[in-house]
Amino acid sequence: MAKKLTMKGLFKPKARSPLELVKHTHELLTFLDRNMDAREQKRKEKMDELSKAILEIRTVLYGDEESGPNKDSCAQLTQEFFRGDTFRLLIVCLSKLNLGARKNATHVVANLLRQRVQSQLIALEYLEKNIDLMDILIKGYEDSGDVALSYGAISRECIRRQNVARYVLESDHMKKFFDYIQTPNFDIASDAAATFKELMTRHKSTVAQFLSKNYEWFFQEYNSQLLESSNYITKRQAIKLLGDMLLDRSNSAVMVQYVCSLDNMRILMNLLRDPKKTIKLETFHVFKLFVANQNKPPEIVNVLITNRTKLLRFFDDFTIEKEDEQFEAAKADVINEISVLEPKPKISSILSFRNNCEVKC
């Protein structure tokens, strides 16, 4: 019996080297990409092989229960993956993989993007030379179900690199995000919102340049499609992100421009009337910027004065569940600032605003 076991061990398949593993995976992906009309049984066999190969790659990169990843093996695999353009092929074929293979592929890509070879992040150079891959990834939100989520997860990994994020920010994809965030599929909408937030908050200087250059169309879309959305989740996430963007020091010039707009304040005052307390709280953190602005335009000053009684009553009754000294201090500052406002020369637009947006208390 022992002899049989020994003989069986002799014929155990030899594990592929990292280079062989990447080459094998490349061949399988090429088949999957070019042979859509292959007979079903053949495609199934190749898909099973590919799923096993991607799992093997994941094991090399992450290790297993018995041991962690080998540094040299990871370096070899990473170099070959990018050198042979297997990375591109994996992205192109992502939607054709089965669920298990796609999940493993997402983990593989995330790891490869962070792997350093001789202290060099080789994925960065690759992405900059193959920046069009972002067109495939972002457009993946137009796919359905978990496929879109895989594209989203990889997109967020890629835009951790500033040059990649800049490319997306300067592309037409930014306008499409307003549609992706409002897609009826909750999971896809939430994932798109997460990617959008990453784009708008990670790389401070790049975001500041983008907002300054695209202020008009961006905030017009942001206000009308997100802040005034009828969807609670969309609206809440949008108000929170708006506060994060405006309060970032890198965006100080944009913040000043935003809080000097009567139309913007009208939207915020309407949001203070929202029945959801969470919406009111997130809105307060943005609205206080309008009040704190020491260079308020006359139309904003006069609207605040027109609504002063109702605003003061509203904020006097406005409380949150947990004690928060910072919140109470900010609220006191808002109340004090509104209380001492002096009128400035009126303009004709005040009347229409007054009719549309008094705070309901």
Mean pLDDT by 10 residues, the chain (361 residues): 48 74 94 78 88 95 88 94 94 92 95 90 92 96 90 96 96 96 95 97 96 97 96 96 96 96 96 94 96 93 94 91 86 94 63 37 31
Interatomic CA distance for residues 309 and 316, integer angstroms: 11
pLDDT at 38: 65
pLDDT at 74: 94
| Per-residue confidence (pLDDT) for residue 351, from 0 to 100 | 36
**DSSP letter string over 241-253?**
HHHHHHHSGGGHH
Class of domain 217-347+355-360: mainly alpha
What span, in angstroms and rounded, lies between the C-alpha atoms of 184 and 231? 10
pLDDT of 33: 87
Within 10 Å of residue 283's Cβ, how many Cβ atoms? Answer: 26
Of the candidates 345, 256, 272, which has an alpha carbon nearest to the alpha carbon of residue 307? 272
β-bridge mates for residue 120, sequence order:
117
